[in-house]
Amino acid sequence: MTQMPHVPEGATVMQAREALARAGWREVGVGDWSWVMSDPDDRLAARLTPFDPAYRLHAEAILAGPSNRWLPRVDAILPLAGDGYVVVMERLWPAGEDEAAAFCAALGVRNDSGYELREDLAFAAADADLLALRERVLGLSAEGARRYRLWGGSDVRPGNVMADAAGGLKLVDPIFLRGLAVVGAIQEGRRDLLADFTRAQLEAFLTIPPFQPGRETDAIRARLASLYD
């Protein structure tokens, strides 16, 4: 039976990725906020991030329940260094674009990240779980807005719908923090907008996948340091 390898609580994301790789896990995806690895049997996935408060809200809500057939199974949230964490969950694959678009239309939650949802698509599998999911996404979005000045809102769109091994659709990443706005606030010296985060959290934010080593990332990190010196 597939098991998650031991990852020490104080491990960094890089150390956790290395521990999984030694156990035969492989990288199957890189997003804006995280790296995703799969076990050798394609049964489990691990989503690793140094900082992503929006996904944590989503994953914690799944663990708290109730279960919903349109959400992925989450087995655990494992702490890493700082506010980093690993979400251990079922392995998923890309969903068909047309079916995913119809699912989003049926869910009926406005997208706040700029994607234009279609409203003219029929989704034959709409059910009570879909209605419950709509209320959950709206509730999580409202909770995020209460916690964070730079909250984004709903990110319901086909790209955030995946499928399990049996082809069942799963909504994987329905809410978001405005990462570009966080960068802008750092560059503009807007500590008032950054007040929801500690310096350590913002430093961790600057290690998510988009921030590749180089002059641009170094400049943002230097600007962040100057706000606290």
Residue 167 lies in a domain: yes
Distance CA 8, CA 19 (A): 9
Answer yes or no: do 207 and 172 share one domain.
Answer: no
Answer yes or no: do 17 and 83 share one domain.
Answer: yes
Residue 144 tokens, joined:
């995020």
Helix (H, G, I), strand (E, B) or coil at 49: strand
Distance CA 17, CA 11 (A): 10
Answer yes or no: do 172 and 101 share one domain.
Answer: yes
Answer yes or no: do 82 and 110 share one domain.
Answer: no
The Cα diameter of the chain in Å comes to 57
Q: State pLDDT tens for residues 46-85.
A: 999 999 999 999 999 999 999 999 999 999 999 999 999 9
Residue 159 tokens, joined:
């790209």
CB neighbours of 103 closer than 8 A, spacing ≥ 6? 70, 95, 123, 158, 161, 169, 171
* Residue 148, pLDDT score: 98
Residue 2 lies in a domain: no
Helix, strand and coil content of the chain, in percent to the nearest 5, comes to 40, 20, 45
Residue 78 lies in a domain: yes
* Residue 113, pLDDT score: 95
Supply the CATH number for residue 84's domain.
3.30.200.20
Answer yes or no: do 141 and 184 share one domain.
Answer: no
Residues of the chain short of pLDDT 70, as ranges, are: 1
Residue 54 tokens, joined:
């929006």
Answer yes or no: do 142 and 202 share one domain.
Answer: no
Is 194:51 a contact under the CB 8 Å cutoff?
Answer: no
Answer yes or no: do 44 and 103 share one domain.
Answer: no
Residue 41 lies in a domain: yes
Answer yes or no: do 127 and 103 share one domain.
Answer: yes
Closest CA to 86 of 97, 74, 98, 102: 74
* Residue 9, pLDDT score: 87
* Residue 120, pLDDT score: 84
Residue 102 lies in a domain: yes
Residue with tokens 């499928």: 163
* Residue 1, pLDDT score: 56
Residue 131 lies in a domain: yes
Distance CA 156, CA 148 (A): 19
Answer yes or no: do 56 and 29 share one domain.
Answer: yes
Domain count, the chain: 3
Distance CA 146, CA 210 (A): 26
Closest CA to 139 of 119, 154, 150: 154
- Residue ranges making up the domain that contains 107: 94-177
**Among candidate residues 91, 119, 134, the one where a domain is terminated:** 91
* Residue 205, pLDDT score: 98
Answer yes or no: do 103 and 165 share one domain.
Answer: yes
Residue 110 tokens, joined:
């406005």
**Among candidate residues 58, 75, 91, the one where a domain is terminated:** 91
Answer yes or no: do 207 and 192 share one domain.
Answer: yes
